[in-house]
């Protein structure tokens, strides 16, 4: 079963706009990782944020984590057509490297 949900399920924006995706989860976590998946391909790791961190940046990506609300957000700034993909959050708990995934957000960036 999936840990939580991602919101929105689908998002369509114009190139240059910012895209924000949200992820909620249900149980306590050690970390939360965001991944990108292009159609039919594998998962590309974007960012890992530990449970004791509140915000992390990587290039045009900004991730926040609010453990009190059991939620995280991924912000992509100045989006490009190449950012078109599905984005997944995955939580890591206390069971080794087992990740529990959300349902994903399908992002379409129109040129």
Partner 1 sequence: KAGVTQTPRYLIKTRGQQVTLSCSPISGHRSVSWYQQTPGQGLQFLFEYFSETQRNKGNFPGRFSGRQFSNSRSEMNVSTLELGDSALYLCASSPTTGISGNTIYFGEGSWLTVV
Binding site residues, partner 1, CB under 8 A: 1-2, 30-31, 33, 35, 40-45, 48, 50-51, 88, 90, 92, 94-104
Name the residue among 60, 63, 57 with its Cα closest to residue 77. Answer: 60
CB of 108 to partner 1, least distance (A): 18
CB of 8 to partner 1, least distance (A): 16
CB of 3 to partner 1, least distance (A): 10
For partner 1, which is the closer residue by CB, 69 or 95?
A: 95
Distance CA 16, CA 79 (A): 5
Beta bridge partners of 76: 19, 61
For partner 1, which is the closer residue by CB, 71 or 100?
A: 100
Cβ-proximal residues to 22 (8 Å cutoff; 6+ apart), any chain:
6, 7, 8, 71, 72, 73, 74
């Amino acid at each position: 079963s999936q840990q939580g949900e991602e919101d929105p399920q689908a998002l369509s924006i114009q190139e240059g706009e910012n895209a924000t995706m949200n992820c909620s989860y249900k149980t306590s976590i050690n970390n939360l990782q965001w991944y990108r998946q292009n159609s039919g391909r594998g998962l590309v790791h974007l960012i890992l944020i530990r449970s004791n961190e509140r915000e992390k940046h990587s290039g045009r990506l900004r991730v926040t984590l609010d453990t009190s609300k059991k939620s995280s957000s991924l912000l992509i700034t100045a989006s490009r057509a190449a950012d078109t993909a599905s984005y997944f959050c995955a939580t890591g708990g206390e069971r080794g490297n087992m990740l529990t995934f959300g349902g994903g957000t399908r992002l379409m960036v129109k040129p």
